[in-house]
Structure 1
Amino acid sequence: MDVRTGLFYLFSVVLLFAAFRVITARNPVYAALFLVLTFFQAAGVWMLLKAEFLAISLVLVYVGAVMVLFLFVVMMLDIDVAKLRAGFWKHFPLAATIGALIALEMAAVLMGGFRPAEEPRALPGVAAAAQAGIQYSNTRELGKLLYTEYLFPLEIAAVLLLVAIVAAIALTLRARKDSKAIDPSLAVRVKARDRLQVVKVPPAVRPAPQVEAAPEGKA
């Protein structure tokens, strides 16, 4: 067994263990952390399959953005796990049936990939790169494909994402009565004499203490 096969089995075992702990961990924060570990192991398997773009996308998008947001929401909401597990056995038969159905569908799809088939033909770019002795890069070829044949759909997706970002920012900046936000332009143009006024106050003189006169007939 070579190093590549050993790494594949190592990543696979850790991935299966982490995926099992995602559904068995009682603490939702621990379950989310095990899901992060699952994503990292899947990215390692994809790197072994020379799909480096998918591996980096999985780490950047899911681990770096989605799971961080999920952890933030879970820790901020302080979910009551006992209340969520109250109706577990009530819905267990339906959940088990759906889980078994999904497992059978995945088995039917995956078993077709283990059948012996004809050796796949190499792509023209891969064959040419192999003949020329040039190292082939999936990311480079994907970039060329995106910015040539799929440039127009890529620009449409970019515009839609930009509109979504602008709309989200506009929703957060809507005027509210209880908002304490100030206009930055007014804060920049403000002058010291408009905000501070020096008033000359005369010094206060403390009056001299008065001594009461002694009554007559007393020394």
Structure 2
Amino acid sequence: MDAKTGFFYLFSAVLLFAALRVITARNPVHAVLYLMLAFSQAAAVWLLLRAEFLAITLVLVYLGAVLVLFLFVVMMLDVHIDRLRTGFWKHFPLAATVGALIALEMAAVLMGGFRGMDEPKSAVVDAAHSNTQALGRLLYTEYLLPVEIAAVILLVAMISAIALTLRQRKDSKAIDASAQVRVRARDRLQVLKFAATRKADADVPAKPPAAEEKTA
């Protein structure tokens, strides 16, 4: 067994252990941390399989953004673990049936193989080109229309999510951007001219001290 095979078995074993701990950990924060470990090991396996683009995408998108967001959400929410455990054994038979069905389907696919899927001629890559370059050529040549359709769908979904969550509150102190653009300096600022120094009035005589005492 060479070093590559040894690393493959090592990463796969850690991946299986982390995936098992994701569904068996009692603390949600620990489950998210184990999920991050599982994704990192999957990225390492993809690197061994020379799928560099998928490995980097998994690290940047999931480990760098999605799982960090999950971790913040789980830590900020007041999650009651005891309340989540109630009714577990009630729904366990249905969950076990669905899990067994999915496992049987995956086993049938893996044992039977992917038949009828011939490798296209354009996917053949010589030694001078990397997998990332070949994937980029396929995405922007033969699969350009599906990529554009997916980009439009994601853009519509993002705009719809913003439109659904955007609510104008009555007590909001937001300022209209158009009013800020139309503002002029002379409407907001008024410059008044004052003398720098002011001399004392010489025409008014000063009161004598005795007069001040009588007044007091």
Map 1:61-210 onto structure 2 (within 5 A).
Answer: 61-113=61-113, 126=124, 129-130=126-127, 134=128, 136-187=129-180, 189=183, 191=185, 194=188
Query: Using a 3 Å threshold, how does the CA distance of structure 1 residues 123 and 177 change in structure 2: closer, same or farther?
Result: same
Stretch deviating more after TM superposition (143-152 or 154-163): 154-163
Distance 2:15 2:137 in 1: 32
Distance 2:13 2:100 in 1: 22
- 3-state SS of 1:175 partner: coil
Distance 1:79 1:93 in 2: 25
Structure 2 counterpart of 1:46, which letter? W
Distance 1:30 1:209 in 2: 85
Percent identity between the two aligned chains: 67
Unpaired segments of 5 or more residues in structure 1? 201-207, 213-219
Q: Is the 8 A contact 2:123 2:138 kept in 1?
A: no
What's the CA shift for 1:174?
A: 4.6
What's the CA shift for 1:163?
A: 2.9
Distance 1:53 1:63 in 2: 15
- 3-state SS of 2:112 partner: helix
What's the CA shift for 1:20?
A: 1.0
What's the CA shift for 1:61?
A: 2.6
Q: TM-score, normalised by structure 1?
A: 0.73
Q: Does residue 13 of structure 2 align to residue 13 of structure 1?
A: yes
What's the CA shift for 1:167?
A: 3.5
What's the CA shift for 1:67?
A: 1.8
Q: Is the 8 A contact 2:15 2:37 kept in 1?
A: yes
Query: Using a 3 Å threshold, how does the CA distance of structure 1 residues 171 and 73 change in structure 2: closer, same or farther?
Result: same
Deviation per residue, 1:117-137 (Å, 9 max, x gap): 9xx98967646x24xxx2x31
Residue in structure 2 matched with residue 46 of structure 1 by the alignment: 46
Distance 1:209 1:164 in 2: 86
Query: Using a 3 Å threshold, how does the CA distance of structure 1 residues 88 and 141 change in structure 2: closer, same or farther?
Result: same
